[in-house]
Copies of this chain bind each other. A is one copy, B any other.
Amino acid sequence: MRPSQSQKSIRPSYHHGDLRQTLLRSAKQLIAEAGIENLSLRRLAERAGVSRTAPYHHFSDKNDLLCAIAAEGFRRRHQTAAAEFDNKAKSMLEKFHVYMNSYVQFAVDNPEEYELMFGRSIWKQQNSTEELRAVAYPCFQHQVDMIRCWQSCGVISGDNALRSAQVIWGALHGIAKLFIDGIYTDTAKIEEVTQCAIDMFIAKTI
């Protein structure tokens, strides 16, 4: 039996301690600082105090590492979204408000991570990891389920649940991206834009 330091990782590293987690942590930090396009495995290794190729024993690829970070993002987002939706103290309409604002806010607060999670680099071609898909698809599905739910209880109008869900998610994604990428520049009006989207989507009580 090894002296168990295995609190945060099933199988801690031998030489470094826990290189995998260290790399993930540094990577997230470096991305937040300098953007995805400035993340290099070599700089990452340097920060962790190991040689350039050490990361390759924990991630098969640069893409593999990116997928791992994105997966973590999906887990986090899924958790908060689920918690917000399960809040029994709020009405369905209120929770729709919360969901819409929370989505855009998450994206704007973590622009680089959001870019990574929904960017082409990960999803195009066959780049997505098994692990990533296993985490992301339920997250997608949950979004669709929630919207379907709002629709069936009359908060949202329309008769085709899936299509409406795709449109609303599209709107959230588009608004978030236009702000993140610097095309919508008036970031002080993020909530106003989101509020306008809410107004346009909720069912009009005649």
Contact = CB atoms under 8 A, between A and B. Distances in A.
A150 to B, nearest CB: 13
Given A158-B200, A200-B164, A170 B175 contact: yes
Contact of A170 (B37, B174, B199): B174
Q: Chain copies in the assembly?
A: 2
Interface string A76-94: 0000000000000000000
Contacts of A118: 177-178, 181, 183
A123 interface: yes
A181 B169 CA distance: 14
A68 interface: no
A120 B200 contact: no
Interface stretch (A10-18, A19-27, A46-54, A189-197): A189-197
Interface residues of A, number: 41
A206 interface: yes
A204 interface: yes
Contacts of A173: 174, 177-178
A163 B196 contact: yes
A64 interface: no
A121 interface: yes
A140 interface: yes
A3 interface: no
B120 A180 contact: yes
Interface string A131-175: 000000000100000000000000001101001101101111111
27 contacts: A35-B124, A37-B121, A115-B120, A118-B177, A118-B181, A120-B180, A123-B181, A124-B182, A158-B199, A163-B192, A163-B196, A164-B196, A166-B196, A167-B200, A170-B171, A170-B174, A170-B178, A170-B193, A170-B197, A171-B171, A172-B174, A173-B177, A173-B178, A174-B174, A174-B176, A174-B177, A200-B200
